[in-house]
Structure 1
Amino acid sequence: MDLHKANGAENGVGRESQNGQVSDLRLFVGNFVHSTKSDPLVMLTDTVLGISSVNIEFLEPIEKLDQIKATYGISDEDVTYMNDSQFMIPGLIDTHIHAPQFPNNGLKLNLPLLEWLQGYTFPTEAKLSDESYARQLYPRVVDRLLSNGTTTACYFASLHLPATKILADIVKEKGQRGLVGKVSMIRNSPDYYRERSLEESVKENEEFILYVRSLNSPLVLPIVTPRFAPTCSQEQLEALAQLAKNHQCHIQSHLSETRPELAWVKELFPWSESYTDVYHKCELLGPKTVMAHGIWLDEAEIKTLKETGAGISHCPNSNMSIRSGLCNVRRLIDSGVKVGLGTDCSGGYSSSILDSIRHAVQTSNTLTILDGDHKHLPLSEVFRLATLGGAEVIAMDDKIGNFEVGKEFDALLIDVRAVDSPIDSEENDTLEDRIQRFLLNGDDRNIMEVYVSGRKVHNRNAKRKT
């Protein structure tokens, strides 16, 4: 059969396995929607997508379906047929979320950041000293994210090593793709919630990295996680950077979230030129670094992020909810900085990236109202931030983020007319209409199936029957 060979092109289709054959082939037939670097909204209509094990093997026009089935001896049991109200999108990527803060979702948003941390967040996270509580909480967190279509998440855990190991275990068990980090903080936090010494911090972080690696899961990775510069000494930031370098780990932290935070960083690190400069001089910035927020960056800081390859997680719900500011994502993108979306629960009150998409659009619209020269982000571009953009931020765009041949199959099956759907659709809606309705009006009731690395990890219909 003359399937098109993969060539890495943005819209290229078809590849053969190394031995010239495609094994364990499964087919999905219908409409697919994704983003590429050059086009934020690509609609592949009446298409056959083939996956073998975890990878996308080919994309072919529906006219070749019978030929494909005959060539590979595929029965209908190995084919998922979509109806007219259904389509598939890549899995959503949450580049910034605090797993231990889930009990506060939708609560306690009456204070600005620094007071909010002391009054509500640190006491909530401190509860994770109880391992039984971690075993009760974290399965609910991962299940909620999967039902919301989050196939990949960058998790801040708490500073507790045993509980953070439990989170890594659960992410693996549930089949989600996750970067899990034990939070590091040695100062400017309550006595009941801080690491006791630099030596303890480094020792426990290294133990956690080795533990995650011992899970032998290609989906679960450790990520070095200094909470943010004010809670870490220079020595701790430098030691964590060296640890990440030694073990070739990702890094995540917070950057330039609020104006009071900027002033505090300058007071704590008088030698620095900026908040970004603190992380840069401590060697924490690189292509595998994810910095949350980045609202109040100056031009020099943006240049540093671009040159180091570090990415920004845009968390618009949180930015508005605790009144941190309006992040000018257009400015970051136009400057060549990688940007993805985050929920930042519980600073953001929703754990759904769909909510982040909507808030990102509204934030951009607000900036345009305030400045007529600002070029707003259309929905299609924000959709790219939620998928391919997030993959770029976590340095996994060679593996996930869209439906390019050779990438792993992380995908959502969407149905705009699902039972109890919140979407009001019309018979004459185009595919683009359905996409827009889902992105702006849909929720977990429209996410019928969730796939991570080729494995179905959530089935809404199955849950409804139980």
Structure 2
Amino acid sequence: MANVFFGQIIHTKSFNEFEIFTNGFIAVDQKGKIVGVGNESVFDEWVTQHTNFKAVAVERLTKNQFLIPGFIDCHIHAPQVAQIGLGLDMPLLDWLNTYTFPLEAKYADQKFAEETYAKVVENTIRAGTTLASYFGTNHKESTLILAKEVLRQGQRALIGKVCSNQNSPDFYVETTEMTAAGTEEFVKEIQKLETDLVKPTITPRFALSCSKELMNKLGEIAHKNDLHIQSHISESLSEIDFVKSLYNTSYAEAYDNAGLLTPKTVMAHAVHLEDEEITLFGKRGTSVAHCPASNTMLSSGFCDVLRLIKNGIKVGLGTDVSGGNSMSIQDAILRALDVSHHLEFVKKQDIKGSGRLVTQDHTYQPLNYKQAIFLATLGGAEALAMGDITGNFVVGKYFDALIVDTSKYPLHNYQPSDSKAADLNLLEMVQKFIYVGDDRNISRVYVSGNQIKK
């Protein structure tokens, strides 16, 4: 259905370009694509130039509402939602063996998968996630259930059958042949769905759980089908040492030698990337999913995302449930801001008794909320190699959007001030939502112009 929205609009055009319309419009055609955007004052002129556009519905936002692009979760483990909040006082590898592998093995039960995944997709949509890059489990059929559930609820997603053939419990590991064949079958089944909303992504769990032979096979499958790729890299120091002992290369080279670092690859964490690895990422066009909550909770370390961005690496945000404790990308925004400020303390302050290991940098400036919104929207789309179709309000992209209402709890009926300029009022509303709001302030969620949260 063709729609025109009038009201306050915000979006980003790049890491440092934040655009607002205090009295704007967005026109959406019947295919769910944006065909017009700008100030309301030019709408009549726009209509005269687009005589083929006939709006079926006209929506005028209230003074307490604004439009923002949908949130993008570059890294989330759908099956792990069932254990969210457990084991977060453990190091990564202990947490995997104690909680994660036993839970994921339960998804051999397809009924269990159906019940869990319906709630996962519903809750991420409620939190404003319009595009998610989901890890499934080793089980092809259960991961297909996730894909079909995403499609049923109207979300946009990349979905991967997890691949592992070593260094995992006997009850949750496949042979090289099984996991490679299962991946190819999974890709074909997703393609049979004939939808633009759900796409397959090649998903080696991480390099230490995959042999060189399996990594090479996955690289071949990805190349043959021009597929997206997702995995983990350099999350914890013990994990890095393990991978180096297995591959006799850097962590990044272990993936690159198998052809798994491409412009359609997103790697989660990247907390401890070495300079040479960042250079390799830049050459390959590979992106990073910054997961500040899990990096903190599993004691992995601080990821300096500004270091990555300054070196030309595309970065988006990930909740990394259940290493992270929230399915909300808005929460990931707050955690990203926290980590960036904590890095500022380390880089600038003389912290007594710290045994400082970080070189001081008094020029360091932490992320601001506008830049963090970029990471949660357009930055995430670019990190997932989907910035050409979503991430901001540009003509030709799909209308993936949220209507935020600041009159609802917990924003305590925020009221714009008549004494302030309209742009300052709007920016205050945005800040209130980012720092204080939650899913209750997200009134509606749209994907491809279709309302999927009512």
TM-score range, shorter chain: over 0.9
1:458 aligns with 2:453: yes
Quick one: distance in 2 between partners of 1:402 and 1:39?
14
- Which residue in 1 is equivalent to 2:439? 444
1:421 aligns with 2:421: no
Quick one: distance in 2 between partners of 1:353 and 1:73?
34
Q: 1:355 to 1:423 in 2, by over 3 A?
A: farther
SS state at 2:322 partner = coil
Q: Which amino acid aligns with 2:432?
A: R
Q: 1:423 to 1:192 in 2, by over 3 A?
A: farther
C-alpha deviations, 1:57-86, integer Å up to 9, x for none?
A: 0114323556777967967x6011101110
1:202 aligns with 2:174: no
- Which residue in 1 is equivalent to 2:322? 346
For residue 305 of structure 2, the aligned residue among 318, 323, 329 is 329
CA contact 1:423–1:437 (8 Å) conserved in 2: no
Tell me the CA shift for residue 55 of structure 1. Answer: 0.6
For residue 112 of structure 2, the aligned residue among 109, 125, 133 is 133
Q: 1:423 to 1:104 in 2, by over 3 A?
A: farther
Stretch moving more, 429-438 or 230-239:
429-438
For residue 171 of structure 1, the aligned residue among 150, 164, 181 is 150
TM-score by length of 2: 0.92
1:124 aligns with 2:103: yes
Quick one: distance in 2 between partners of 1:424 and 1:334?
39
- Which residue in 2 is equivalent to 1:32? 9
Q: 1:303 to 1:315 in 2, by over 3 A?
A: same
TM-score by length of 1: 0.90
CA contact 1:423–1:441 (8 Å) conserved in 2: no
- Which residue in 2 is equivalent to 1:89? 68
- Which residue in 2 is equivalent to 1:17? none
CA contact 2:3–2:29 (8 Å) conserved in 1: yes
C-alpha deviations, 1:13-36, integer Å up to 9, x for none?
A: xxxxxxxxxxx5310000110000
C-alpha deviations, 1:215-263, integer Å up to 9, x for none?
A: 0010100000000001000010010000111111100000000001111
After TM superposition, list the pairs within 5 Å mapping 1:28-177 onto structure 2.
28-37=5-14, 39-53=16-30, 54-65=32-43, 78-177=57-156
Quick one: distance in 2 between partners of 1:65 and 1:83?
18
Q: 1:266 to 1:74 in 2, by over 3 A?
A: closer
SS state at 2:302 partner = coil
CA contact 1:257–1:293 (8 Å) conserved in 2: yes
SS state at 2:171 partner = coil
CA RMSD of aligned residues (A): 1.6
CA contact 2:15–2:374 (8 Å) conserved in 1: no
1:379 aligns with 2:369: yes
Quick one: distance in 2 between partners of 1:132 and 1:442?
35
C-alpha deviations, 1:354-373, integer Å up to 9, x for none?
A: 01000000100000000022
After TM superposition, list the pairs within 5 Å mapping 1:266-415 onto structure 2.
266-270=244-248, 272=249, 274-372=250-348, 373=361, 374-415=364-405
Percent identity, aligned pairs only, is 42
C-alpha deviations, 1:380-436, integer Å up to 9, x for none?
A: 111100001001111111110100111110000000112x33456244171000001
SS state at 1:41 partner = strand
Quick one: distance in 1 between partners of 2:251 and 2:290?
17
SS state at 1:430 partner = helix
- Which residue in 2 is equivalent to 1:217? 195
Quick one: distance in 2 between partners of 1:346 and 1:38?
28
Quick one: distance in 2 between partners of 1:395 and 1:74?
32
CA contact 1:40–1:383 (8 Å) conserved in 2: no
- Which residue in 2 is equivalent to 1:248? 226
1:432 aligns with 2:411: no
SS state at 1:221 partner = strand
1:226 aligns with 2:204: yes
Q: 1:49 to 1:281 in 2, by over 3 A?
A: same
Tell me the CA shift for residue 267 of structure 1. Answer: 1.1
Structure 1, unmatched stretches of 5+, are 1-23, 460-466
Tell me the CA shift for residue 281 of structure 1. Answer: 1.1
- Which residue in 2 is equivalent to 1:5? none
- Which residue in 2 is equivalent to 1:20? none
Quick one: distance in 2 between partners of 1:438 and 1:398?
27
- Which residue in 2 is equivalent to 1:21? none
CA contact 2:64–2:414 (8 Å) conserved in 1: no
SS state at 2:199 partner = strand
C-alpha deviations, 1:304-336, integer Å up to 9, x for none?
A: 001100000000000011111000001000000
SS state at 2:88 partner = coil
Tell me the CA shift for residue 211 of structure 1. Answer: 0.2
Q: Which amino acid aligns with 2:439?
A: D
SS state at 1:158 partner = coil
Stretch moving more, 309-318 or 47-56:
47-56
1:180 aligns with 2:169: no
For residue 192 of structure 1, the aligned residue among 168, 171, 178 is 171
Q: Which amino acid aligns with 1:400?
A: T
Tell me the CA shift for residue 47 of structure 1. Answer: 1.0
CA contact 1:423–1:442 (8 Å) conserved in 2: no
CA contact 1:423–1:438 (8 Å) conserved in 2: no
Stretch moving more, 366-375 or 185-194:
366-375
